[in-house]
C-alpha cells in the first residue's frame, strides 16, 4: 500500500485506463451475463451499504429481498407455505438471495444432506447425488467441499440427460438428483418431469439448476415444464444477474418446503437476528434492491420482450450460418447456439486474434458455443458470420 493517499483524480484516471481493458461486452458471444438494466444500477447505488448479513439493521433492504423472493416464487410456481414469522423462512415462499448459481447449487445440495441427516435416514457409505454430464462445474465444488460423491449421467442425442442413465447410477446412498433448465453449454432443458418421477418414486430430492434458464424459459412462446409446478421438484436456482438484467452478484435459491431452509440454519448469537441460513455472512442488500427494481420495472412484458429479442438473434444466426454451410448441433431451445465448424479451437483463436470476437467451445463434441445476449445486435450477427466465413475459408 502506498504511504500517502492518491487524489481522487489520480485514482479515477488510473481506473478509467484499466477499465478500457475490459470488453464492455463489445463482440462478446461467450457470456451469460450482460449490462445490468440502468434501473438496477441506480437501485444498487442507493442501497450500496446495505448488509443482508445483519437483517435487523437493514430492515428496508430485507423487505426488498422478501419481495424479490415472492416475485420469483410466483414466476416459478412455488407453493405458498404458512409458517410463523419468527421462523427462518419469513415470507410465504421459502428462499433467499445468493451470490449466484454456484452458491445456490452448493446450498441446495447442503440442504439435501442436512434434511436427510435430520430425518436420521441411514446412509451406508458416502452420500451421492446424480447430475447430468452437462452440469455446471459448480457441482465439482460441491463434491470437494461436502464429501458428497457426484455421479454424472449420460446425455441423449439432443444433449438432455438420459433418465435411464440417471436411474442406473442411483443406489441406497443417493440423496438427490439434479436437472438443468438451460444447460451452460447447449442451452438445453433436461426432462424435468421424468427426473421428478424418479425422485418421487425413490423419495429423494430434485434440484433444478435454472441459473440461466430461469429468466428465459417462462418467457418463451412455448415454455417447458421445469419449475415447482412439477411435483417432485424440491429446489430451484435462478440468477437475476444473468438474463434477469440485474447487477452482479444476484442469484436466488428457492425451496418447496421450509424444512430445507431450517436445515441450513446456524445460530448467530451476537447479531440482531438469532439465526442465519445463508452460506455467506455479509451479503449485498444492493443486489436485492437492484433485482427488485428491474423486476418491478420490466414486469412480465419487459422480460418477454427481452427473451424475444435474444431468440430472434438466435434464429437469425442459425438461419444465416446454415446458408454458409454450418449446422447447429441441436435446434436452439434458448439463446445458446452450438455450431459445428471445422477445427473449432483454431477458429475460436482466430476469431479473437483477427476480429476481436469472444466465443467459447463446447466440450463433447467440440463446437463453437455462442450465447446471444441483450448486448448483441443483428449487425453483430452479420459481421460475426462474415468473419467466421473468412476464418474457416483459410
Contacting positions for ligand 0PR (CB under 6 A): 31-33, 100-102, 105, 136, 138, 180, 183-184, 209, 211-212, 239, 251
Query: Looking at beta carbons only, is 32 or 370 nearer to ligand 0PR?
Result: 32
Q: Least distance to ligand 0PR from the beta carbon of 369, Å?
A: 9
Cα torsion 197, 199, 203, 208: sign = negative
Q: Least distance to ligand 0PR from the beta carbon of 341, Å?
A: 20
Phi, psi of 236 (to 5 degrees): -140, 135
Q: Least distance to ligand 0PR from the beta carbon of 392, Å?
A: 24
Place of cell 452482479: 248
Q: Least distance to ligand 0PR from the beta carbon of 106, Å?
A: 9
Q: H or E segment at 297?
A: helix 285-323
Query: Looking at beta carbons only, is 136 or 151 nearer to ligand 0PR?
Result: 136
* Cα first-last separation, the chain: 50
Q: Is 270 left (phi over 0), alpha (psi -120 to 50) or beta?
A: alpha
Query: Looking at beta carbons only, is 215 or 326 nearer to ligand 0PR?
Result: 215
- Cell reading at 307: 427473451
Q: H or E segment at 8?
A: helix 8-19
**Cross-strand pairs, 177:** 130, 206
Q: Classify each residue of 158-188 as buried b or exposed e, where b means 16 or more C-beta atoms within 10 Å of its C-beta.
A: ebbbbbebbbebbeebbbbbbbbbbbbbbbb
Q: Least distance to ligand 0PR from the beta carbon of 349, Å?
A: 18
Query: Looking at beta carbons only, is 146 or 324 nearer to ligand 0PR?
Result: 146
Q: H or E segment at 194?
A: helix 192-202
Query: Looking at beta carbons only, is 190 or 262 nearer to ligand 0PR?
Result: 190
Q: Is 95 helix (H, G, I), strand (E, B) or coil?
A: strand
Q: Is 326 left (phi over 0), alpha (psi -120 to 50) or beta?
A: beta
Q: Least distance to ligand 0PR from the beta carbon of 180, Å?
A: 6
Q: Least distance to ligand 0PR from the beta carbon of 389, Å?
A: 25
Query: Looking at beta carbons only, is 262 or 380 nearer to ligand 0PR?
Result: 380
Query: Looking at beta carbons only, is 174 or 188 nearer to ligand 0PR?
Result: 188
Q: Least distance to ligand 0PR from the beta carbon of 9, Å?
A: 31
Whether 26 contacts 272, CB under 8 Å: no
Q: At what angle do helices 378-393 and 285-323 cross, to 10 degrees?
A: 50
206, 210, 273: which is closest to 244 by C-alpha? 210
Query: Looking at beta carbons only, is 91 or 362 nearer to ligand 0PR?
Result: 362
Amino acid at each position: 500500500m502506498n504511504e500517502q493517499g492518491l487524489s481522487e483524480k489520480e485514482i479515477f484516471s488510473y481506473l478509467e485506463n484499466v477499465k478500457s481493458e475490459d470488453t464492455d461486452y463489445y463482440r462478446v458471444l461467450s457470456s451469460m451475463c450482460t449490462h445490468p438494466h440502468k434501473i438496477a444500477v441506480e437501485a444498487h447505488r442507493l442501497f450500496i451499504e446495505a448488509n443482508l448479513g445483519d437483517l435487523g439493521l437493514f430492515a428496508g433492504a430485507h423487505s426488498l429481498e422478501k419481495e424479490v423472493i415472492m416475485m420469483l416464487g410466483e414466476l416459478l410456481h412455488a407453493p405458498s407455505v404458512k409458517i410463523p414469522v419468527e421462523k427462518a423462512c419469513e415470507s410465504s415462499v421459502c428462499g433467499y438471495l445468493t451470490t449466484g448459481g454456484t452458491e445456490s447449487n452448493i446450498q441446495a445440495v447442503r440442504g439435501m444432506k442436512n434434511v436427510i441427516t435430520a430425518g436420521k435416514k441411514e446412509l451406508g457409505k458416502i452420500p451421492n447425488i446424480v447430475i447430468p454430464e452437462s452440469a455446471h462445474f459448480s457441482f465439482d465444488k460441491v463434491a470437494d467441499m461436502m464429501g458428497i460423491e457426484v455421479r454424472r449421467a449420460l446425455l441423449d442425442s439432443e444433449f438432455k440427460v438420459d433418465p435411464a442413465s440417471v436411474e442406473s447410477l442411483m443406489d441406497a446412498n443417493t440423496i438427490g438428483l439434479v436437472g438443468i433448465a438451460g444447460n451452460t453449454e447447449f442451452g438445453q432443458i433436461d426432462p424435468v418431469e421424468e427426473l421428478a418421477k424418479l425422485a418421487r418414486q425413490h423419495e429423494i430430492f430434485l434440484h433444478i439448476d435454472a441459473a440461466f434458464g430461469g429468466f428465459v424459459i417462462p418467457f418463451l412462446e412455448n415454455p417447458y415444464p421445469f419449475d415447482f409446478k412439477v411435483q417432485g421438484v424440491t429446489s430451484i436456482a435462478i440468477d437475476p444477474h444473468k438474463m434477469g438484467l440485474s447487477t452482479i452478484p444476484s442469484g436466488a435459491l428457492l425451496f418447496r418446503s421450509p424444512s430445507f431452509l431450517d436445515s441450513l440454519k446456524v445460530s448467530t448469537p451476537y447479531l440482531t437476528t438469532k439465526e442465519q441460513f445463508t452460506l455467506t455472512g455479509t451479503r449485498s442488500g444492493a443486489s436485492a434492491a437492484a433485482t427488485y427494481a428491474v423486476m418491478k420495472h420490466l414486469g412480465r412484458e419487459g422480460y418477454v420482450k427481452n427473451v424475444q429479442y435474444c431468440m430472434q438473434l438466435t434464429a437469425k444466426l442459425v438461419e444465416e450460418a446454415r446458408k454458409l454451410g454450418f449446422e447447429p448441433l441441436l435446434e436452439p431451445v434458448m439463446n445458446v447456439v452450438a455450431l459445428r465448424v471445422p477445427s473449432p479451437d483454431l477458429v475460436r483463436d482466430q476469431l479473437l486474434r483477427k476480429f476481436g470476437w469472444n466465443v467459447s467451445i463446447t466440450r463433447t463434441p467440440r463446437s463453437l458455443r455462442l450465447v446471444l445476449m441483450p448486448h448483441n445486435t443483428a449487425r453483430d450477427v452479420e459481421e460475426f458470420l462474415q468473419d467466421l466465413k473468412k476464418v474457416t475459408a483459410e
